[in-house]
Amino acid sequence: MYLVRNLVVGVEMPVTHPWNSANLEAPSRLAVRQAFKLAHACGIPVSLVSILPKVTAGWFGSREDSATKVAELKDEAMAVLQHLASEYVSHPDGSVQVSCHVGTGRPWLELLRTASSLDRPMLICGTKESASISKKLFGSTGTNLIRYASGPVWLVKPELDEDAQLDILATTDLTEVGQEVLMTAVSLGRSLPARLHVMHVAEGMVERYMRRTGISPEQLEEMRKKSLEQAEHAVHDQLASTDFRTLASGVKVLVRSGPTDACILDAIQEFNINVVILASRARGGIPGILLGNTAEKLLPELPCSVIVVKPDDFKCPIDFSAELADV
C-alpha cells in the first residue's frame, strides 16, 4: 500500500492585491484546511506551495524591472503562506512540520517538481468551476496532476453546506488498484470525521450476453441477483484486509448494476457525497496516461471533490532534470 508521508498543498494567490490569507478564494482555503486536518491526525509534514506566473519585461521594460517585480511578488506570496502556516501549525494534539515554497512557471509542473523531491507525497489542491462545461471541475492543472503525479491527488471543491463530517464514496473494481482505493478510504476515514460508502458497479456484460441466448426473464433475473451477491461478497473480502472495523461510523456497501459512471453519479447525489475516491490505471503502455474510460467520463461531471489513487508502482514519467528551463 502507498503510505502517504508528505502533503503538498497548492495555494493559489488571490486575484487582487494586496495578497493576504484572509482573501484567498474558497477552493484554496478549504484545501489548506483539509490538509492540516489530515496532517494533525497522522503527524504528516505539510508543504505549502504557491506557483506564480512568469513576469516578462514587455516592450519597454527591462530585465531588471521584471526581476524586481518577481522578487516583490514572491515575497508577498511567501508572507501569505507563512501566515497560513502560523494559523494551522499548532494543535492540542501537537504541532506539525510546515515548509513554504514559492516558485514561478506552470503550476502543475512546479507542484509535481516539489512533490518529486519528497518521500511518498500526496498532492492537495483547490479547484473551482469554470465557464467551460468540459472543465467544470478539473482544469488543466488538476488533470495534469492526476495524470502525472506519482502518488494520490486530492482535488478539493468547496460546497455551500460544508459538513464537519465528510461523506466518502470509495469505488472498487475488485482489482488490486480497487483494493488500494479501499485502504486509502479507510485510512482517511480513521483520520478525519467521515462516513464511508464503498461501491462496486457490475456492468452487466454477462446479462447482455445471456439475453442473446434466449433464456427467460425469470432466469435472467436470478442470474442478475446471483451476480450482485457474488460481487458483494467480493467487496466484503476486500474490506476484510483493511481496518474498516475501527471506523466509528461503520461502512455502507453498495453494489449496483449498470453503466459505471451513471451509477457513481447517482450514488453521489443519493448520499450527498463530499469526496469520491477513484482508481486510476496506466493503459496501453503510455506513461502518465492514467484515466480509463470511466474516469474520463466522470471527471468533468463530478459535483464533489475527488481523490485519485494510483497503482503502487506508478512513477511520474517526467524527467525534471530535463525541465530546468521551466523553473
CA distances from 33 to 29, 115, 137, 174, 244 (A): 6, 19, 19, 32, 25
Return the percent helix, strand and coil in the chain, to nearest 5.
45, 20, 40
* pLDDT tens by residue, 174-184: 988 899 999 99
Q: What's residue 288's pLDDT?
A: 37
Q: What's residue 8's pLDDT?
A: 97
Answer positive or negative: Cα dihedral of 124, 129, 133, 139. Answer: negative
CATH assignment of 1-58+65-158, given 3.40.50.620, 3.40.50.1580, 3.20.20.70, 1.10.3720.10? 3.40.50.620
Does residue 326 have a pLDDT over 70?
no
The C-alpha cell 435472467 sits at 220
Q: How confident is the model at residue 136 (pLDDT cuts 50, 70, 90)?
A: very low
HSE (CB half, 13 Å, CA atoms) of 80? 29
* pLDDT tens by residue, 295-317: 666 777 888 999 999 887 788 88
C-alpha span between 55 and 61 (Å, rounded): 11
Q: What's residue 55's pLDDT?
A: 74
Q: How confident is the model at residue 160 (pLDDT cuts 50, 70, 90)?
A: low
Q: What's residue 324's pLDDT?
A: 47
Q: Where are the beta strands (DSSP E) in 145-192?
A: 153-156, 166-171
Instruction: Phi first, then psi: give them for residue 116, nearest 5 degrees.
Output: -65, -20
Q: How confident is the model at residue 131 (pLDDT cuts 50, 70, 90)?
A: very low
Q: How confident is the model at residue 147 (pLDDT cuts 50, 70, 90)?
A: confident
What does pLDDT average to over the chain?
83
Query: So what's the architecture of 161-316 in CATH?
Result: 3-Layer(aba) Sandwich (3.40)
Contacts of 116 (CB under 8 A, 6+ apart): 150, 316, 318, 320
Q: What's residue 285's pLDDT?
A: 37
Contacts of 11 (CB under 8 A, 6+ apart): 24, 28, 31, 32, 48, 49, 50, 80, 81, 84
* pLDDT tens by residue, 245-262: 999 888 999 999 888 888
Q: What's residue 11's pLDDT?
A: 96
Global pTM value? 0.86
Does residue 113 have a pLDDT over 90?
yes
Show the 3-state SS of 253-278. Answer: EEEEECCHHHHHHHHHHHCCCCEEEE
More confident residue, 58 or 101: 101
C-alpha span between 24 and 11 (Å, rounded): 9
Element (H, E) at 190: helix 176-191
Does residue 99 have a pLDDT over 50?
yes
Report yes or no: 179 and 277 within 8 Å, Cβ to Cβ.
Answer: no
* pLDDT tens by residue, 200-246: 998 665 555 555 666 777 777 777 788 888 899 999 999 999 999 99
Does residue 108 have a pLDDT over 80?
yes
Which residue spans of the chain are classified as CATH 3.40.50.620?
1-58+65-158, 161-316
* pLDDT tens by residue, 39-95: 998 999 999 999 998 877 665 567 777 788 889 999 999 999 999 999 988 776 668
CA distances from 45 to 89, 92, 95 (A): 10, 17, 10
Does residue 287 have a pLDDT over 80?
no
Percent of the chain clearing pLDDT 90 (strictly above):
45
Cβ count within 10 A of residue 213 = 8
Instruction: Phi first, then psi: give them for residue 175, nearest 5 degrees.
Output: -95, 180
C-alpha span between 193 and 160 (Å, rounded): 18
